[in-house]
Structure 1
Amino acid sequence: MFKLKENNTSVRTEIIAGFTTFFAMSYIIFVNPDMLKITGMDFASVMIATCVASAIGSFLTAFIANIPFAQAPGMGLNALFTFTLCQGMGYTWNQALAIVFISGVIFLIITISPLRSRIIEAIPKSLKSAIAAGIGLFIAFIGMLNSGLVVVNGASNVTDLGSFSNGSVLLVVIGLIITGVLMAWKVKGSIFIGIIATTIIGIPLGVTDIPTTITYSNFSLAPTFLQLDFNLLSAGILPLLTAIITLTMVDMFDTVGTLVGTANASGMADENGNFKRGDKALVADALATCAGALVGTSTVSTYMESSTGIKEGGRTGLTSVVVGLLFLAAILLGPIALMIPSAATAPALIIVGVSMMSAIKNIDWHDFEIALPCFLTIAVMPFAYSISDGIGFGFIAYTIIKVCRGKAKEVPLLMYAISILFILMYAISAYSSY
């Protein structure tokens, strides 16, 4: 079914890759409901919805596209749901779920049209390399930030190095050394081994919590299941359009960026930097967003952390099936998933970041009309904490510079359209904030 031999992989490799990806992204099981409960949603119900939506998304990716990418409610998108739609625009969480569903339907319409494959093909090869490097830097930054290796200084609003008196920081360093040495020795399954070893070492350091129970009970999906409210015009048409366009654009280009960047960094793309199976993944992502809204969670997106499993050799949808099954198991066995501390997965994210940064070598840094858009793509992703914003700044800069240099014909028509959409999105967002 998954054509393992054609993709030069095995069942064992795919299972290890699936476990690795799941461990790297399992934090979402608890972070997402903690974020959405601010809107008044039931924590336990959102946790189940998170696991169910993640499983559905991962299964869709596996069976529609046969690629090793996992899905879950997106970080940043859940913040957009909570702080922009609900607290900023005044929508109820039920109305916000309806907006997520509508954005998913629009995304689906785009993905089943001829635009599906052309979106990826329209991106210049240099920008594809920049997206890969930007995601590498972003994913390493996430690992450092979530584990406490770097912290936000409240006084200066910049990041500082965490204190080595903190057991979590010390564990990240230990895990980075273990995983780095294993990678240098080319040990099979080195990232997975590194996560497990670091988790065990974290027990005496007081970072890894031993659960008092291995199962959850008495949970219900009912408080959020099919609780969408489509009465959306109370706040006006402009805020509604802003919300729908923003969610659709961010979801679409987060997914495009993750697929293009990871595929280029892992050798899954062709000589032009195109990922042939990636266009089907967009369909899976759009369907997962709709399904996620129905069960009761914010926008579902393809996860950057999938690159940890891909680094372990995952090449087919079997990896995604394993991730999906683990998310379903986590509904009952959540305490075991929670046992893996962020300090144990941070080294894996940093190592993957190192690998993805190699894409920089494909960029001609001596040609400034290419260098500036690529730099903005790479820099904005971690600094703005957004893949889509990095892509937006890179696309806009690339298009403007080419036009000003008298090379307008070198820019694909779809690049013009996407750049204009990004400009409109930023303009509408700025106008609605007044």
Structure 2
Amino acid sequence: MENFFKFKERGTDMKTEMIAGVTTFMTMAYILAVNPNILGASGMDTGAIFTATALASAIASFCMALFANLPFVLSAGMGLNAYFAYTVVLGMGYSWEVALTAVFVEGIIFIILSLTNVREAIFNAIPTNLKVAVSVGIGLFITFIGLQNAHIVVDSATLVGLFSFKGSVAAGTFQSEGITVLLALIGILITAFLVAKNVKGNILIGILVTWLLGIVCQLIGLYVPNPEAGFFSLIPSGIISMPASIGPTLFKMDFSVIGSLDFLVVVFAFLFVDLFDTLGTLIGCASKANMLDAEGRLPGIKGALLADAIGTTAGACLGTSTITTFVESSSGIAEGGRTGMTAIVSGILFLLALFLSPIFLAIPSFATAPALVIVGFLMMQQVTKITWEDMTEAIPAFICIFAMPFMYSISEGIAFGVISYVVLKLVTGKNKDITPLMFVLALVFIAKYAVL
């Protein structure tokens, strides 16, 4: 194992990797509950989706470990699953079988692009300052996701606002929603304390302690589950359960409309978002882990991209939407994960979740929110590496950073960063700084906004 994973070379050990793998899994275990809920709106069997999501996540994560030896974990991408269900199926009127076919075709295209170095070339073409900006932007993005998941940040007349404890008491929802918001805030402070004291496994401990506090609150009656409002019991309903049959979604694809223009547009949309979400996640997480070399390149990226592509293809065959590298991988990296063993551990836990789903589905979002907030802080530290003195470098980096959380998309952040970088370099006469591929990328992004 030492020869394959190179623990000593990367400054880690088996214990650290195992803690990192468990941490990453716990911060993204919500996908096992959320993905069936979202894709189920398209008419798919939710039990089969749960099984397909767990299996595809495990397969893709194992591929990441074996092909690239990197600590990145994969599962069904958020946003892409919503596009699958609400836009392609409910909006455009296609059957979910056709949507799965589009995901399958996207996966095949990605396998080809990964093997021919196209995706790797795009990764390497992005300037160093923009790569750092991607890392910082993802930090803000996952912080925002964590605050949303915990309901600390809510919808308001100003688009977003702070949760109102006074309002929850008046509405009679404090014992369901209000107390979980309070627990999330306490969890952030607990996790921050553990990080400040450099306690080993600080993020994982923060998740478990916050969850345990929630269980105590439920036992003494301070927290009252309200399933209709989305607040479930924090105590697992059991330990072991048999996985649902995957039969209703296995290989259920429909190739009858594969040549239509609308179908190609759907494939392109999946392809575009997945491509730049994955590249952004790899850039951000690798930057945080100091895995990029002196030229800003990620050793083993071809294997990482191939794992992502194979995961998407396998996921479509099993019955789930696009599989992509999860930004929550940064939580495991923050725990010290540096090798594929982190991905192996998370993959094994996805398989265990098939038989221990009552435990994993009981992990509340308010317990994982502190992990996302603290990881966001850790990724934010990269901002000092940006060359702020050069405005043609700093301004595109800033645009990239704010676009991710405010537009709720990693790919949009990259797109706006690339476009502004190329335009600013052109109008200031610094044409030599623009590589041909960056120029092509800017044109592709502009064309994308004109067409979609």
TM-score range, shorter chain: over 0.9
How far residue 315 of structure 1 moved from its aligned partner, in angstroms, is 0.6
How far residue 188 of structure 1 moved from its aligned partner, in angstroms, is 0.9
How far residue 308 of structure 1 moved from its aligned partner, in angstroms, is 0.4
Cross-structure match for 1:158: 159
Q: Which runs of 5+ in 1 are unaligned?
A: 430-434
Q: 2:420 aligns with which of 397, 400, 417?
A: 397
How far residue 157 of structure 1 moved from its aligned partner, in angstroms, is 5.9
Q: 2:211 aligns with which of 171, 193, 199?
A: 199
Q: 2:193 aligns with which of 177, 181, 188?
A: 181
Cross-structure match for 2:449: 426
How far residue 36 of structure 1 moved from its aligned partner, in angstroms, is 0.4
How far residue 293 of structure 1 moved from its aligned partner, in angstroms, is 0.3
Cross-structure match for 1:255: 278
Asked if the contact 2:69/2:300 (under 8 Å) is kept, the reply is yes
Q: 2:76 aligns with which of 73, 76, 81?
A: 73
Cross-structure match for 1:285: 308
Cross-structure match for 1:432: none
What secondary structure is seen at the aligned counterpart in 2 of 1:16? helix
Q: Which runs of 5+ in 2 are unaligned?
A: 166-173, 224-232
2:386 aligned with 1:363: yes
2:32 aligned with 1:29: yes
- Following the alignment from structure 1 to structure 2, what is the Cα–Cα distance between the partners of residues 419 and 205? 52
CA offsets 1:184-207 (integer angstroms, 9 cap, x no match): 011111111111111101112236
Cross-structure match for 2:107: 104
What secondary structure is seen at the aligned counterpart in 1 of 2:5? coil
CA offsets 1:200-246 (integer angstroms, 9 cap, x no match): 01112236611222222361000000001111258x41x22221111
Asked if the contact 2:28/2:328 (under 8 Å) is kept, the reply is yes
Return the letter of the residue paired with 1:3.
Answer: K
Cross-structure match for 1:308: 331
Q: 1:168 aligns with which of 171, 175, 180?
A: 180
Return the letter of the residue paired with 1:224.
Answer: T
How far residue 407 of structure 1 moved from its aligned partner, in angstroms, is 2.2
Cross-structure match for 1:53: 56
Asked if the contact 1:252/1:282 (under 8 Å) is kept, the reply is no
- Following the alignment from structure 1 to structure 2, what is the Cα–Cα distance between the partners of residues 151 and 90? 31
| Aligned positions of 1:121-140 closer than 5 A | 121-140=124-143
Cross-structure match for 1:318: 341
How far residue 416 of structure 1 moved from its aligned partner, in angstroms, is 1.6
Return the letter of the residue paired with 1:167.
Answer: I
Cross-structure match for 2:247: 222
Q: 1:350 aligns with which of 360, 365, 373?
A: 373
- Seen in structure 2, the aligned counterparts of structure 1 residues 108 and 157 have a Cα distance that, compared at 3 Å, is farther
- Following the alignment from structure 1 to structure 2, what is the Cα–Cα distance between the partners of residues 167 and 338? 20
Please report the TM-score for the alignment, with normalisation by the length of structure 2: 0.91
- Following the alignment from structure 2 to structure 1, what is the Cα–Cα distance between the partners of residues 254 and 450? 27
Cross-structure match for 1:384: 407
Cross-structure match for 1:11: 14
Return the letter of the residue paired with 1:199.
Answer: W
CA offsets 1:247-300 (integer angstroms, 9 cap, x no match): 111111111111111111221222333211223201110111000000000000
- Following the alignment from structure 2 to structure 1, what is the Cα–Cα distance between the partners of residues 307 and 251? 20
Asked if the contact 1:263/1:275 (under 8 Å) is kept, the reply is yes
- Following the alignment from structure 2 to structure 1, what is the Cα–Cα distance between the partners of residues 296 and 370? 28
Asked if the contact 1:242/1:428 (under 8 Å) is kept, the reply is no
Over aligned residue pairs, what C-alpha RMSD do you find? 1.4
What secondary structure is seen at the aligned counterpart in 1 of 2:217? coil
Asked if the contact 2:12/2:336 (under 8 Å) is kept, the reply is yes
Cross-structure match for 2:353: 330
What secondary structure is seen at the aligned counterpart in 1 of 2:242? coil
- Following the alignment from structure 1 to structure 2, what is the Cα–Cα distance between the partners of residues 416 and 246? 21
Which 4+ residue blocks in structure 1 deviate beyond 4 angstroms?
none
Asked if the contact 2:146/2:368 (under 8 Å) is kept, the reply is yes
Cross-structure match for 1:410: 433
- Seen in structure 2, the aligned counterparts of structure 1 residues 381 and 218 have a Cα distance that, compared at 3 Å, is closer
What secondary structure is seen at the aligned counterpart in 1 of 2:160? strand
Cross-structure match for 2:202: 190
Cross-structure match for 2:294: 271
- Farther off after superposition, 266-275 or 60-69: 266-275
- Following the alignment from structure 1 to structure 2, what is the Cα–Cα distance between the partners of residues 157 and 340? 31
- Following the alignment from structure 2 to structure 1, what is the Cα–Cα distance between the partners of residues 72 and 387? 29
Return the letter of the residue paired with 2:207.
Answer: I
- Following the alignment from structure 1 to structure 2, what is the Cα–Cα distance between the partners of residues 233 and 69? 32
2:215 aligned with 1:212: no
- Seen in structure 2, the aligned counterparts of structure 1 residues 280 and 217 have a Cα distance that, compared at 3 Å, is closer
- Farther off after superposition, 285-294 or 334-343: 334-343
How far residue 88 of structure 1 moved from its aligned partner, in angstroms, is 2.1
